Amino acid sequence: MLYQTVVEYKEDEGTKAFDFTAIMVIIGNFISLCVVSSLFGIIMGLVITYIFKRCRFLSHSAVQETFLILCWAWLTYYLSEVFGQSGITSLVAVALVMAHYAWFNLSPQGKHVTHVAFQTFGYAAEAFVFSFIGLSVMYYSTYPYSWKLILAEFFIVIIGRFSAIVMSYYMFECVKGDGSNKLTFNEISFLTYAALIRGAIAFGLVENLSDHILVDHETGFNKKDVIVSTVFVLVVTSTFIFGGLTPVV
């Protein structure tokens, strides 16, 4: 998402050189995108929660409840994209709100059906995406690779993920302050390890980067190909290494 923000800035500013002001603008746009997208998802989640609470006739059919939740999440994603926000962020936000609030307004049958249905959808989608990535190995083997960039990205992912999880945990601990359900450092480290697996969402997002802004017009070299191949290696390698060694860890 941050790289997409940089690309959008370059599209707006042309070939303007980066300076401190440009960096601040990019960071501000990134934070604004995250906040606005999250707020949009939260609002959409609260709306569907209120609908389920007041319109009890919707609870007469578990199939109807499941279909409405699916369509509402889909609608949130597309509306967020139409308004120029992050559909993924809005989708995560609306899902969290529906899981914590809207789900309790469903009928007992609706709770069971939605739980099973979305677990099935998630499993099928994950299997499809990773099958697509596996079948694409031969296609992306012709792309240019920068092993220095790949190693640098691995380092950034490990340090960034560990820092984010540790800082987030201790920030919440400072706010909570009662010491209940406190995690050990080993448990926090395992959470960090599990989060190192790069998913197919990252690969899908990098495929949506703009082509024309990443082309070197002097040499005709497409920098997007290097970025795509780097993310591809990160996804495949992290899945095999970190995912395969999870039971051992």
pLDDT for 72 equals 93
Which H or E element spans position 10? helix 2-13
> Do 104 and 158 lie in a common domain?
no
- Find tokens 């969402």 and name the residue: 201
List Cα–Cα distances, 215 to 11, 158, 221, in angstroms.
Answer: 12, 29, 6
Structure tokens at 18: 């980066």
- How confident is the prediction for the chain on average, in pLDDT? 80
- Find tokens 């800035």 and name the residue: 9
> Do 83 and 25 lie in a common domain?
yes
Q: Which residues pair with residue 222 across a beta bridge?
A: 215
pLDDT for 234 equals 85
Residues 72 and 44 sit within 8 Å (Cβ to Cβ): yes
pLDDT confidence band for 42 (50 / 70 / 90): very high
- For the segment 213-228, the average pLDDT, to the nearest whole number, is 69
- Number of structural domains, the chain? 2
Q: Is 173 part of any domain?
A: yes
pLDDT for 212 equals 62
Q: Is 205 part of any domain?
A: yes
Q: Is pLDDT of 28 > 70?
A: yes
> Do 99 and 180 lie in a common domain?
no
Domain end point (choices 109, 128, 153): 109
pTM for this predicted structure: 0.69
pLDDT for 126 equals 79
Q: In terms of residue numbers, what domain contains 198?
A: 139-244
